[in-house]
Amino acid sequence: MRHLVILTLLFIYSLSFGQKIKVSESQESIEKIPRTGLSTIIELDDNEVESDWKKQLKNYGKVDYSKGVYTVAIANVPSISSSPCRITSIVKSSGKGTQVWYSIDLGSTHVTSSGNSSAYKAAEKILNDFAILCYKDDINSQIKDAEKALSNSVKAQEKEVNQGQNLLKDVEKNKQDKLNLEQKIKENGEQAVQLQKDIAKNKTDQAAAGQDVEKMKKALEVVKAKLTAVGQ
């Protein structure tokens, strides 16, 4: 358990300083039509990233999904445009994690680095901030797991400490029981010696009592003889 906690914390540490976020301009084919947009690779599970990205898109308007493509037909993104725009997005697995790509149709043109610099920078910031949020959420989740593992490790340690204390108490109790038993054996031996003395004395007392009985019998016979002799 301790090793698991250490490895988890080390992984979180390396992840915190190892992730590089890069947003770049790229093209994707939507319904066989190439479109220019922005994309980034997030080194996390695609299911989690896709779920979070769908929530992000909902902030801009109603999200439709069809054949692997997310669409917000009427999107309100103030940082990009004061007028409604159209967002088209794809989330898919890549060799390093999950690729998030989206394009913004302003009506007369798409947002590109060369066509609309300010809008492109705003769109770039949205994707960059989203990637940061994903990494932070993932790290917070791992921290919770590590804290839980640490808590379990502490409980296991406390259990071992308590068990050790109980073992020490058992050892002391065993010593005391041994002393009590030795004392009892000693007392038992002394009692056995006394019993033998009592038996020997009892035999002597029995013999003396037997002699007294015989004397009483003889005395009784003498008294009876006197009774018989009366009047003769």
Domains of the chain: 2-144 (3.30.310)
Residues across the chain: 232
Sheet strands side by side (includes 98-105)? 23-30, 33-42, 98-105, 85-93, 69-75, 64-66
Per-residue pLDDT reduced to its tens digit, 163-213: 899 998 998 999 999 989 899 998 888 888 888 988 888 989 888 888 888
Q: Any idea what the Cα angle at residue 63 is, between residues 74 and 19, rounded to 5°?
A: 110
Band of the pLDDT at 4, cuts 50, 70, 90? low
Band of the pLDDT at 9, cuts 50, 70, 90? low
What integer best gives the mean pLDDT of the chain? 88
Question: Cα-flanking dihedrals φ and ψ of residue 91, to 5°?
Answer: -125, 125
Per-residue pLDDT reduced to its tens digit, 46-81: 899 999 999 999 999 999 999 999 999 999 999 999
Please give the model's pTM, rounded to 2 decimal places.
Answer: 0.67
* Closest to 88 (Cα-Cα) out of 99, 67, 102, 107: 102
